Amino acid sequence: MMTRGLVALALALGVAFAHAAPPADEPPANLLSAPPAKAAALDAIFAQFKLERLRCKFSEEKRIALLAKPLRATGTMYFSRDIGVARLSETPKKEQLVVTPTVVRIRKGTRTEEIPLDKSKDLKAFALIFPTLLRGDRAGLQQAFTITLRGSDKDWWALTFVPKSASLAKLVTKVVVFGKKTDLFSLQVTEQSGDTTNTRLLEITKNADVPDAELKAAFGLQ
């Protein structure tokens, strides 16, 4: 169940950059090799989160060693502090993924699959990285991950999450969140197999600028 759940979640969340043409502004190539920042800088990064809600477009590329070409996906992602994360894929096919504190729900057409999170501490930690980060819950993340910051909130930064659990580390090597100042840029997941998924975040809208009706529709609450 653990392996199947992680594979399903990784394919759904997906995490090399997924845009056809590189944007004018990208993280410096040497950002991840820079010395780790001090604790005060990490405090400043987490202070800028604590969001109530968020909406963004995403463009994603998953590289799998056994496949000659990467898997690509695009769509819209939503965050609600009270509910979790909803991801609505438009390409290559329509799909709804909802992650709450207790379950991952994947809907494809008329078929729905639910993966309970309470049965696996490792799967739950992995699934909830993004919503926990957007809530600004540093303590919650540090229960399962060693967190390292490179850069600062003054310019480009990268948060790296390395699993503390040996069982989760066998499947997920690290998760990296890239940003610039107060803006998120991308998410990157590296699996123990070496497969990687990069998710570029675009057109980010926060808090009151995300309408209630749109948020409810994204989570299937209407």
Kindly state the DSSP code that residue 187 receives in the 8-state scheme.
Answer: E
3-state secondary structure 150-219: EECCCCEEEEEEEECCHHHHCCEEEEEEEEECCEEEEEEEEECCCCEEEEEEEEEEEHHHCCHHHHHHHC
The tokens 């394919």 sit on which residue? 11
| Tens-digit pLDDT profile for residues 4-53 | 444 445 544 543 333 333 444 889 989 999 999 988 889 889 988 889 99
| Tens-digit pLDDT profile for residues 141-161 | 999 999 999 999 999 999 999
| Tens-digit pLDDT profile for residues 171-185 | 899 999 999 998 899
Q: Exposed, middle or buried, 205 (CB in 10 Å: 0-12/13-18/19+)?
A: middle
13 token code pair:
């969340």
pLDDT band at 3 (very low <50, low <70, confident <90, very high): very low
- Domains of the chain by range and CATH? 2-17+29-218 (2.50.20.10)
Q: Distance (Å, rounded) from C-alpha 86 to C-alpha 76?
A: 8
Global pTM value: 0.85
Q: Which of helix, strand or coil describes residue 11? A: helix
In which element (H, E) is residue 7 found?
helix 2-13
| Tens-digit pLDDT profile for residues 189-217 | 999 888 999 999 999 999 999 999 999 99
